[in-house]
A and B are shown apart, each in its own frame.
Chain A
Amino acid sequence: MRLWPLTGYTRYRVSTYFAACLIVGYLTIALHYRNDEQFPFFNWSLFSYSPNPRSDVAIVIRTVDGKTLPKPRLFIDMPDTFLQARLRNVNVWKTEWNLVDAIHAGDTKKANEYRQVIEQDYMADVKSVGYEIALITYSPIRRLRTGVIDKMDVVASYEKSAP
């Protein structure tokens, strides 16, 4: 088989092989790095699990601009304070998960990078914030109707200070 220049049926055969290799290669990389997404490969595991009860990550706000809140509140429930909560930016939630993964992996550098994004970009509306990154457990339908969170485990406590 003459390899170059590719002409006629050789090119056809090579393109068929290439298509097969592409599929196998994509599948291998996407599945191998299942828990550590390697852009632009993705395993397309989106909304694959609906466990009940469910564990999720959340930012719990305790103080804003030096004032302690009467009751700790979730970031997403404070649209009046944070623009990104008002915009319902799903990247906030994804960044929270990345931060938790980095903390659990002991990757301080990566954790700091994600923390910077949260504090400088997503909490840009306030000068100082006292907050916690927490794992919460709840039954989704019950929480939607009653607001009840069954369990809350704090992963890390942070303070965004005024520059």
Chain B
Amino acid sequence: MSRFVTRTLRGARHFLSSPNPLRDPVFGRIEIEFTRATYLVRFYYLVSAFIAYGMMRSIHAMTEQSSAWVFLWPVKWLHSVNPDLYFLLEVMPLIAMFAALAAMQFPNRILPRVVFAIFCLFSVAVTNSQGGIDHAYHMWLWIGLCFIFLPPIPSTGLISRADKMSYLSAIVGTQALLLLSYTLAGFWKTRGGLIPLFHGELGNFAPTGLASQLADRMLVTGTHPLLANFVINNYWISYFLFLGLIYTQLVAVLVILRPRLHVVWGYILILFHTGTWLLMEIDFPQHVLFLGLLFVLSPFRPTRWNLPEVVCDVPGFGFLGRLVWRSPAKHSPRPAAAAAE
């Protein structure tokens, strides 16, 4: 069984990896990646404290405005604590905030990370206990849940190569989960385009697909996003952007073992979230944060790369680049300068 799993994982890794290996030396690379990853984790908890601080205000506002609750399962037990209900609701993000600060300050301790994940789960569940579930905090919470499994760093700072690799594996797992959410979104959009196409109906792959979505969103929410009317009236512009977006989302998870694309996909997805605001008035600030943190500033981003290498790594279309550049690594204009970067 163990051998089967190992082989499957190795096969998946081979399938997902870039055909052009990174030029940074393997041993030195792990050192750099590990150092970046430790700072990334500490920064995550600092921002988590900031987010929990913001949640205190929103939960306080909820307790003042709401009298009926539909508690989600993590906080269902709150139904039975009526007298102290609002006190408990407001104290949850407070504990999450202090746990996040402790996790940032003491990276060698697992307990603060566990406490943060639990109280972040409670706080997010409370903010979603008013009949509808909003997904702004979901992936931020999942990062916290994944980071529980980071191996503790000894206070001496001395850590074996194997432990560094397991630390980095947990980071890769977290990144994969985040990208999986985008791939799922792309999968459903593709499905929503193909099924109507086969039935001869209008769907996502129709030129008016995005325009129709935007019009519907404006009707449902009564919003007037900045660029929505322009895109609805000029839907041919949005058509190609929408197809590009569906592709970017669909293949997102394939980028995971191609670190040269982490920065590119990070920026594209941040642009996508900017677009959802300009076209739909849907904001995902937490997503912009984690995309910046885990992809634009990915610990695995190579120090030496060039444009042909990046193009050759693009899932599905990389072969076109490989037709043009047989050895993309040779096209580095100034390897010495790039190495010094």
A91 touches B130 (CB 8 A): yes
Q: Which residues of A contact B131 (CB under 8 A)?
A: 91, 94-95, 98, 113-114, 117-118, 121
Contact: A44 with B215, CB < 8 Å? no
- Report the minimum CB–CB distance from A143 to chain B (whole Å): 6
CB distance from A76 to the nearest CB of B (A): 5
**Given A44-B181, A76-B222, are A91 and B132 also a contact pair (CB < 8 Å)?**
yes
Q: Are A48 and B180 in contact (CB under 8 A)?
A: no
Tell me if A11 is interfacial: C-beta within 8 Å of chain B: yes
Residue of A at shortest CB range from B65? A121
The B contact surface, by secondary structure, is helix
Q: B185 at interface (Cβ–Cβ under 8 A)?
A: yes
Q: Across the two chains, which residue of chain B brings its CB closest to A144?
A: B215
Q: Is B22 an interface residue (CB 8 A)?
A: no
Q: Tally chain B residues at the interface, Cβ within 8 Å.
A: 74
- B217-248 contact mask (Cβ, 8 Å, vs A): 1 or 0: 11111110000000010000000000000000
Residues in A neighbouring B74, C-beta threshold 8 A: 39
Within 8 A of B (CB), among A20-40: 20, 22-23, 26-27, 30, 37, 39-40
B162, B188, B216: the one within 8 Å of A48 (CB): B188
A-B pairs with beta carbons under 8 A, tally: 197
Q: Name A51's contact: one of B6, B12, B203, B218 (CB within 8 Å).
A: B203
Which of A45, A48, A119, A138 is most buried by chain B, counting CB atoms within 10 A of its CB?
A48
Given known contacts A23-B176, A113-B70, A12 and B215 CB-to-CB distance under 8 angstroms = no
Q: Are B184 and A121 in contact (CB under 8 A)?
A: no
- Contacts of B177 on A, CB cut-off 8 Å? 22-23, 26
Nearest residue, chain B, Cβ from A58: B220
Q: Is the CB of B208 within 8 A of A121?
A: no
Stretch at the interface among B44-52, B87-95, B120-128: B120-128
Chain B min CB distance to A70 (Å): 20
CB neighbours of B141 from chain A (8 A): 40
Contact indicator A1/B2 (Cβ below 8 Å): yes
A19→B173 contact, CB < 8 A:
yes
Alpha-carbon distance between A144 and B223 when the two chains are bound, in angstroms:
12
Cross-chain contact of A144 among B70, B132, B210, B232 (Cβ < 8 A): B232
Q: Are B132 and A98 in contact, with the CB atoms below 8 A? A: yes
Assembled-state Cα–Cα distance A128/B227 (Å):
38
CB distance from B172 to the nearest CB of A (A): 6
A63 close to chain B: CB less than 8 A: no
Q: Please, how many angstroms separate the alpha-carbon atoms of A37 and B217 in the complex?
A: 21
Is the pair A144, B219 in contact by a Cβ cutoff of 8 Å? yes
- Looking at the assembled complex, report how far the CB atom of B309 sits from the nearest CB atom of chain A, in whole angstroms: 26
Query: Looking at A12, A46, A56, A119, which has the most chain B CB atoms within 10 Å of its CB?
Result: A12
- B5-23 CB mask vs A (1 if < 8 Å, else 0) is 1100100100000000000
* Beta-carbon contact of A46 and B216 below 8 Å: no
B322 within 8 A of A: no
17 contacts between A and B (CB under 8 A): A11-B166, A12-B169, A15-B170, A16-B9, A19-B170, A19-B173, A22-B146, A42-B133, A47-B213, A50-B213, A52-B202, A91-B130, A95-B131, A121-B68, A140-B212, A140-B215, A140-B216
Question: Which residues of chain A have a CB within 8 Å of any CB of chain B?
Answer: 1, 7-9, 11-20, 22-23, 26-27, 30, 37, 39-40, 42-52, 54, 56, 76-77, 79, 85, 88, 90-95, 97-98, 113-114, 116-121, 124, 138, 140-141, 143-144
10 additional A-B pairs beyond A8-B162, A90-B132, A94-B133, beta carbons within 8 Å, are A27-B180, A40-B141, A49-B204, A50-B212, A51-B203, A91-B132, A94-B134, A95-B130, A124-B67, A141-B212
